[in-house]
A and B are shown apart, each in its own frame.
Chain A
Amino acid sequence: SAVISQKPSRDICQRGTSLTIQCQVDSQVTMMFWYRQQPGQSLTLIATANQGSEATYESGFVIDKFPISRPNLTFSTLTVSNMSPEDSSIYLCSVSGLAGGSSYNEQFFGPGTRLTVL
């Protein structure tokens, strides 16, 4: 399995500011994803982070609001830009396709970043 860490684990931010969330994996992975979980809701996929190219966004999510970087096979960042209280959520990083493994079948999740926007 993969060990995934996220920084920060939680933050409280002011309206109109931006926050960058980091996701670090302990091994190389092919696929990295970013999800959002609003209070009391299920997980919603924001985008697939592609190494060396622009992320692939799901319907309803745009690059200007959620810019994503993926400079290598073990690291990605998600920025929540120009935040409003509606952005208060848990943001989760997820990975699949571990190098040397058969785990395209499994998708592993980080612990999440709990964001509160005032």
Chain B
Amino acid sequence: DAKTTQPPSMDCAEGRAANLPCNHSTISGNEYVYWYRQIHSQGPQYIIHGLKNNETNEMASLIITEDRKSSTLILPHATLRDTAVYYCIVRVVNYGGATNKLIFGTGTLLAVQP
């Protein structure tokens, strides 16, 4: 799977939008971009994923550049409970295949400040 690069940490004020960047310059055409987060002492939680179009769900928005070499996860109104490590992962999706495994990088620690 392609490697991703994320800043090690970011701060955000409560109520403001949190924009978390991710570089994946070696991404292949059949690799998706996934975002997970891990709140302290819990298992990782799925947030969102996309291939090339921007995506939005109840948790966040995912903006993928046209060349797909980078993406941004947007939490529109960050709360204190959004403080977590956010992982950007790229992977192939093969239905039933072993390549479904997720390989985690080091992630970004987002600290939401009151």
Contact = CB atoms under 8 A, between A and B. Distances in A.
A62 interface: no
Report which residue of B101, B103, B107 has the largest number of chain A beta carbons within 10 angstroms of its beta carbon: B101
Interface string B38-66: 10011111100100000000000000000
Interface residues of A, number: 24
A104 B93 contact: yes
A27 B45 CA distance: 18
Main secondary structure of the interface of A (DSSP, over half): strand
A107 B102 contact: yes
Question: On chain B, which size bracket covers the interface?
Answer: 20 to 34
Contacts of B113: none
A97 interface: yes
Contacts of A108: 46
Contacts of A4: 43
Nearest to A104: B95
Contact of A107 (B42, B46, B98, B107): B46
Contacts, number: 57
B44 A109 contact: yes
A41 to B, nearest CB: 8
A42 B106 contact: yes
A116 B43 CA distance: 18
B100 A42 contact: no
A92 B43 contact: yes
Interface in A79-103: 92, 94, 96-97
B102 A42 contact: no
B104 A44 contact: yes
Given A33-B102, A44-B104, A92-B44, 9 more contacts: A42-B87, A92-B43, A94-B43, A104-B94, A104-B96, A105-B32, A108-B46, A111-B43, A112-B41
Interface of A: 4, 30-31, 33, 35, 42-45, 48, 56, 92, 94, 96-97, 104-112
17 contacts: A4-B43, A42-B105, A42-B107, A43-B44, A45-B102, A56-B98, A92-B43, A92-B44, A97-B96, A104-B96, A104-B100, A105-B32, A106-B49, A107-B100, A109-B44, A109-B45, A112-B41
